[in-house]
Structure 1
Amino acid sequence: MLLLVKVELFRKGTLDVEIYFDGRGSTSSDWFTKERLRSSSFNDLNQMSTFKFFSVDGFQGRHFYISHIHGSCPKDKGWIVVIDKADGSSRFCKYDRIPGKDYPYILYGPDHHMIKFETGMSDDIIIY
């Protein structure tokens, strides 16, 4: 029996992106991996995509982080990241500190493709 974990991303109250993972035998944190990825409404996200990060834990306050390019701020690209920690002393990317935006917030590509994280935004994330 297949047990799926579903991630939904909403923009302006409307479902925009769905990502499905194989949840069989998983824990609360290890279901979110490229090996468990089953399908996605992102046109360029699959198990064969190239990743820098693909984990719940992510990197320094970036969680549910699916990253393709990481380490150059304006060039950082990927599919989704949840920014959930305000720490100005160690966070120097603009997308880690969006003025007027409360933590946590979600960045993703609303056109169903990988984006530069500085250009993405989502309203809500729901995990089933």
Structure 2
Amino acid sequence: IQQKEHPKFKRKGDDLFVEHTLSITEALCGFQFILTHLDNRQLLVKSQPGEVVKPDSFKAINDEGMPMYQRPIMRGKLYIHFTVDFPDSLSLDQSKALEAVLPPKMTAQISEMELD
């Protein structure tokens, strides 16, 4: 059997890997999207309420990978690798609104010795 390269999916053993980019809003407040699988099935992928997705993180979906060798009923996992699209800049109002709801910033304590 010859395996062809796919523009979207990569295979590693029984597992499949796919990339997906989230906006910063989706990463912090939740997301939902349709992923078209290799066999054209539509998978609804969504986050759990309150779940925060960090850049370079993965979500695993059981039994959505490739058939296992000599066990064709069993399938590997589908891993979705997330990148998060951060804005290039924020307005002053946006920055203040975020500061109002996010945990407080760490303030640097500078001692006199560090100033020399």
Relative to the length of structure 2, the TM-score reads 0.28
Query: Considering only CA atoms, is the larger Rg found in Structure 1 or Structure 2?
Result: 2
Q: More helix by proportion, 1 or 2?
A: 2
